[in-house]
Amino acid sequence: MTAVAELRKTVASLHRELTRYGLVSWTAGNVSARVPGAGLMVIKPSGVSYDDLGPDAMVVTDLNGELVEGELAPSSDTAAHAYVYRHLPEVGGVAHTHSPYATAWAARGEPIPCVLTMIADEFGGDIPVGPFALIGDDSIGRGIVETLRGSRSPAVLMRNHGPFTVGADARAAVKAAVLVEDVARTVHFAHQLGTPDAIDPQHVDRLYARYRNVYGQ
């Protein structure tokens, strides 16, 4: 199977994680993967039901978002994904949802404070807020890239909009999308009845380093 064919399968199946964890409603939300070394990306088509997102429905664009392969129009967030791939060469995957708890923090423009070991592990500190940006040009992409450059977090909460997440590949970006909602929710609950203590920054560093180096297979 070619790299593109393989990535069509991967990206299609990762969209099922968005519905499994309740991160998306109707046709909102999207995942993409960079095609390594090819100047291309594989992304979800615009406005198609999650039930119909098989590998063949995925579309391929160049890194300016121009359609290269596929019969459907690409996601309306394609320009933002493309901007990220052009400016962050280490990123191999991008995910975007309007998951409810993360989007509530985004609506208030408040970073999610690092009060859980899971936040230290996966995000390495507070989860930052990006600017309000209109769709239609490079504003969203620029807001994502500028915010992520100042942070270890693979997630940014775009103001009044929702989370965008990145990773070394599409699976890592989707993992960050799942975990940003998980911790956004738990910290929301914690704040409803009090104010949890932040984890000491030195402990955050140790947890973050260990999770990168020891966790998993």
Q: Kindly name the residue from 96, 101, 126, 208 that is annotated as catalytic.
A: 96
Annotated catalytic residue, options 21, 50, 62, 98: 98
Nearer to its own copies, 89 or 194 (CB): 194
Does residue 121 have an active-site annotation? Answer: yes
Q: Which CB sits closer to its own copies, 45 or 92?
A: 45
For its own copies, the closer CB: 38 or 169:
169
Map residue 28 onto helix, strand or coil.
coil
List the alpha helices (DSSP H) in the chain: 3-20, 78-87, 100-108, 117-123, 139-149, 170-192, 201-213
15 carries an active-site annotation: no
Complex with its own copies: residue 21 or 151, whichever CB lies closer = 21
**Least gap, CB of 5 to its own copies (angstroms):** 22
> Is residue 24 within 8 Å of residue 18, measured between CB atoms?
yes
Q: At its nearest, how many Å lie between its own copies and the CB of residue 38?
A: 25
Active site residue 96: yes
C-alpha gyration radius of the chain: 17
What distance in Å separates the CA atoms of residue 98 and residue 23, rounded to the nearest whole number? 7
Q: Which residues bind its own copies (CB under 8 A)?
A: 21, 25-28, 45-48, 72-73, 76, 98, 100-101, 103-105, 107-110, 115-118, 132, 134-136, 160-162, 175, 178-179, 182, 185-197, 199, 203, 206-207, 210, 214-217
Alpha-carbon separation of residue 181 from 57, 59, 70, 103, 156 (angstroms): 27, 27, 31, 9, 12
What's the CA gap between 163 and 155, in Å, rounded? Answer: 7
To the query of whether residue 161 is one of the catalytic residues in this protein, the response is yes
Tell me if 45 sits within 8 A of 58, measured CB to CB. yes
Q: Is 98 a catalytic residue?
A: yes
Catalytic residues: 96, 98, 121, 161, 215
